[in-house]
Structure 1
Amino acid sequence: MTLPAALAAEAPRAAAMLDRLGAIGADPPGITRHAFDERENAAHTLAVERAQHLGLEIARDAACNLYLTWPGTDRAAPRVLLGSHFDSVRHGGNYDGAAGVVAALAAVSALRATGFRPRADITIAAFRCEEAVWFGLGLVGSRAALGILPPDALDRRRADTGLTLADHIARCGGDPAAIAPGRRLLPNGPIRCFLEAHIEQAPSLIEAGLPLAVATGIPGNIRHAAIRITGEDAHVGLPRRFRRDAALAGAEIFAALDALWAEEEAAGRAMAFTIGRFHTDVTRHEITVVAGEFTFSIDLRAYDAAHLAALDRRFRDILDATAARRGVTIDPGPRSAAPVGPCDPALQASLAAAAARMGIATMPLGSPASHDAANFAAAGIPTGLLLIRNAHGSHNPREAMDAADMMAAAATFAEWLRAEAAA
């Protein structure tokens, strides 16, 4: 069977798997697959069922990451690792993360149908808890796999259950005691490269009319989940000069960050910031009370480590200046960070060439979002990322990836493996 014919035969199976994942996560108006909980477990079980049908080796690590391996003829050769994640944000869409695992499985299935035999092991990974919404820390599974999970991570509590990350890992059959900084959990042996496919989180490919992009890099980020501003509660008639208004301090910080973004954009330096939480204390705020407390979150991201560090300094300067000007105190709270992930130039070129051989048009594009791939790139493992066209962004119920575009990613991976991993 030719590779195009095998991919065509695989397409309905891949679409059906996406439908089953949607049913697992159904949570109107969107999809919720909780990290380290029944729905993420069910998604992993579905992947295992497909792997068993394909005759793949199945393994899990201490953090409950799943590895599905097609054995190569030379088990000592550096393996090719592909993968993504199954967890979602609350009331998100069906494709963020999941499309990457399904595309990798489709690529392997199609290659097997052609009679192809890989020289090195090809392993598909489904990493746990990529989304930061669950424990205030993103990319948890891949960080644990690479031995770079922060020491305090296992004590973080999931907001909806109150249980720690260690508790949830143990409940899913993992071994939190075996997770430690510097201790890798990945399958034994060297890794040639890591490849990931993920829906795009901006409308760039919709705008360009293309199904795929080959990512040039993944931004690093700095996050504070709960920055607390403390001023002083007061009567609404209090003159401005006497106020220590925490809400106005928050608004001033927001405006200053927006001005910073405009300045950086004008200078051609790509970045983004997002304030997702922005509120007074709902148990105390009143229409006739000046807010003495205010809380907000921030995600600050850029594509260059030095640029990200400079932006972090500018952000802290904004906090200090606002605190002094408004007469408030600002506690930034816990800080988390994800590394900048430069995509390997040779992989960018070979993935684009593989897509072209399959008749798939691509474009180079920086990823607007963080992904598990960033951890592998930061660890020095050559990394490639395909971005799949997706309407309406992600982290919302309106994700609208076409299954044919996901199969374009699968075709690109299959052709790349055919050319680069032959026995």
Structure 2
Amino acid sequence: MTLGEAVAAQAPLAQRLLDGLAALGADPPGITRDAYGRGENAAHALVAEAGEALGLVAATDAGANLSLRWPGSDPAAKPILIGSHLDSVVQGGNFDGAAGVVAGLAAVAALQAAGIHPRCGIEVLALRCEEAVWFGLGLIGSRCLLARLPPGALDLRHARTGLTLAESIAACGGDPRRIAAGTPLRDPATLGAYLEVHIEQAPQLVEAGAPVALCLANPGNVRHPFIRITGEDAHTGLPHRFRRDAALAGADLALELEKLWLAEEAAGRPMAVTIGRLHTPAERHSLTMVSGRFELSLDLRAYAADHLAALEARLAGIVAEVAARRGVRIDLGARSAAAPGRMDPAILEGFAAAAARAGLPAPRLNSPGSHDANNFAAAGVPTGMLLARNRNGSHNPDEAMETGDLMASVSVLTHWLAERAGE
């Protein structure tokens, strides 16, 4: 059986896993697989069963991440990790994260079907809690694995259960005391590579007419999940010059950040601003009151560390200007950050060669999203990403990746593994 035939033969396996993950996460109109909860746990069990059917050795680390290991013939060779996540946002789509785990299993199955055994170990990882919706902090599984959790993270509380992150990890078979020690669960220097397949989160591949792309970089981000603006409650008839209107200050801040975004893009410096929450406190909504309180969230992202630092400095200036102009106090609150993730040049060229061998066009694109790959790249692990074509974006019920397009990514991944790790 040729390698191409072996890859094609795994399409039913990929479809069966994707369908199974959709069924256990069904939450109309979308999919919900809650991190460190029933949905993510069920997804881990489904994937573990599939891995064990391929003869992979299942293990859970102190962060409750799942590893499915195919031992290589050379115990001294650095292993290659293929990973992504299985949690979702609330009522999101089925493919964000999950497609990458399924791709890893399909690539292993293809190598086995082609009679190729690895010289180095190959591990498929299902990393916990990539989505920030659950604790206000994203990429938690890879942060645990690489000792990149920020201070106080283990005390963050789950948006649904109210359990702390430490309690959540323990409930899923992890060891929060080991995480609290602050040392990596895997020494980055002992890892040969980290590879991730992810759905494309903008319609760039639809536009390009290609099923798969070679990812150049993922943006890093700075996040403030709970920004609070404090002004002064007042009667709706109060003249403008007397107002300290927190709601208008929030709108002002949002518009100033959009101006920054447009100016940076016009200058050829790609970035993004996202305000996910923008509201007066629910318990104080009123038609007939000037609100003295307002809340919002902010995700600020860019592709280079120095650019991100410059944007954060601009944010501080914008906050000060808006606060002075509106007569309010703006508290940015808790901050989390993820380093930008530039992909390893050697892996990128290896992927390009693999795509050529598979007969696939594969443009080179930036990903608009931050992923677990960011943490591996920041830790010094050679990192590569493939993007699978997907209509309608992500984090919504309308994610529309075709299984055939996922198999194109599996083909590139499998050809690369055969060249790099095969005996």
1:14 aligns with 2:11: no
2:210: which partner in 1? 210
2:139: which partner in 1? 139
Deviation at 1:151, TM superposition (A): 2.7
Contact kept, 8 Å, 1:149 with 1:181, in 2: the verdict is: no
Contact kept, 8 Å, 2:146 with 2:188, in 1: the verdict is: no
**3-state SS of the aligned residue for 1:213?**
strand
C-alpha distance in structure 2 between counterparts of 1:326 and 1:13, whole Å = 58
1:65-116 per-position Cα deviation (integer Å, ceiling 9, x unaligned): 0111111000111111111000000000000000000001000001001110
1:341-383 per-position Cα deviation (integer Å, ceiling 9, x unaligned): 1111111111011011111111000010000000000111111
1:326-347 per-position Cα deviation (integer Å, ceiling 9, x unaligned): 1101111100000111111111
C-alpha distance in structure 1 between counterparts of 2:180 and 2:144, whole Å = 8
1:266: which partner in 2? 266
Listed as ranges, the matches of 1:340-419 within 5 Å are: 340-419=340-419
Deviation at 1:25, TM superposition (A): 0.4
1:103 aligns with 2:103: yes
C-alpha distance in structure 2 between counterparts of 1:379 and 1:231, whole Å = 42
Listed as ranges, the matches of 1:3-402 within 5 Å are: 3-180=3-180, 182-186=182-186, 190-402=190-402
C-alpha distance in structure 1 between counterparts of 2:261 and 2:52, whole Å = 49
Contact kept, 8 Å, 2:146 with 2:187, in 1: the verdict is: no
C-alpha distance in structure 2 between counterparts of 1:225 and 1:383, whole Å = 28
Contact kept, 8 Å, 1:68 with 1:125, in 2: the verdict is: yes
C-alpha distance in structure 2 between counterparts of 1:287 and 1:308, whole Å = 39
C-alpha distance in structure 2 between counterparts of 1:181 and 1:356, whole Å = 45
**3-state SS of the aligned residue for 2:254?**
helix
Q: Which letter does structure 1 place at the counterpart of 2:186?
A: L
Provide TM-score, normalisation by structure 2: 0.98
C-alpha distance in structure 1 between counterparts of 2:174 and 2:47, whole Å = 18
Contact kept, 8 Å, 1:150 with 1:181, in 2: the verdict is: no
Percent identical: 60
Deviation at 1:258, TM superposition (A): 0.8
C-alpha distance in structure 2 between counterparts of 1:394 and 1:295, whole Å = 25
Q: Which letter does structure 1 place at the counterpart of 2:69?
A: T
Deviation at 1:172, TM superposition (A): 0.9
1:141-170 per-position Cα deviation (integer Å, ceiling 9, x unaligned): 000000111231110001221111111111
C-alpha distance in structure 2 between counterparts of 1:300 and 1:372, whole Å = 17
C-alpha distance in structure 2 between counterparts of 1:161 and 1:87, whole Å = 15
Farther-moved stretch of structure 1 (86-95 vs 282-291): 282-291
Deviation at 1:182, TM superposition (A): 3.8
**3-state SS of the aligned residue for 1:263?**
helix
Deviation at 1:4, TM superposition (A): 1.6
The answer for unaligned runs of 5 or more in structure 1 is: none
Contact kept, 8 Å, 1:76 with 1:189, in 2: the verdict is: no
Q: Which letter does structure 2 place at the counterpart of 1:176?
A: P
1:254-303 per-position Cα deviation (integer Å, ceiling 9, x unaligned): 11111111110110001000000000012112111111100000000000
C-alpha distance in structure 1 between counterparts of 2:224 and 2:391, whole Å = 28
C-alpha distance in structure 2 between counterparts of 1:325 and 1:92, whole Å = 38
Contact kept, 8 Å, 2:103 with 2:407, in 1: the verdict is: yes
Contact kept, 8 Å, 1:83 with 1:196, in 2: the verdict is: yes
- Cα RMSD between the aligned structures? 1.1
C-alpha distance in structure 1 between counterparts of 2:96 and 2:24, whole Å = 14
Contact kept, 8 Å, 2:135 with 2:158, in 1: the verdict is: yes
C-alpha distance in structure 2 between counterparts of 1:189 and 1:271, whole Å = 31
Farther-moved stretch of structure 1 (4-13 vs 218-227): 4-13
1:29-85 per-position Cα deviation (integer Å, ceiling 9, x unaligned): 000000001111111111111111111111110111011111100011111111100
Deviation at 1:186, TM superposition (A): 2.8
C-alpha distance in structure 2 between counterparts of 1:374 and 1:245, whole Å = 39
Contact kept, 8 Å, 1:215 with 1:387, in 2: the verdict is: yes
C-alpha distance in structure 2 between counterparts of 1:187 and 1:11, whole Å = 34
C-alpha distance in structure 1 between counterparts of 2:210 and 2:421, whole Å = 27
C-alpha distance in structure 2 between counterparts of 1:410 and 1:75, whole Å = 25
Contact kept, 8 Å, 1:151 with 1:181, in 2: the verdict is: no
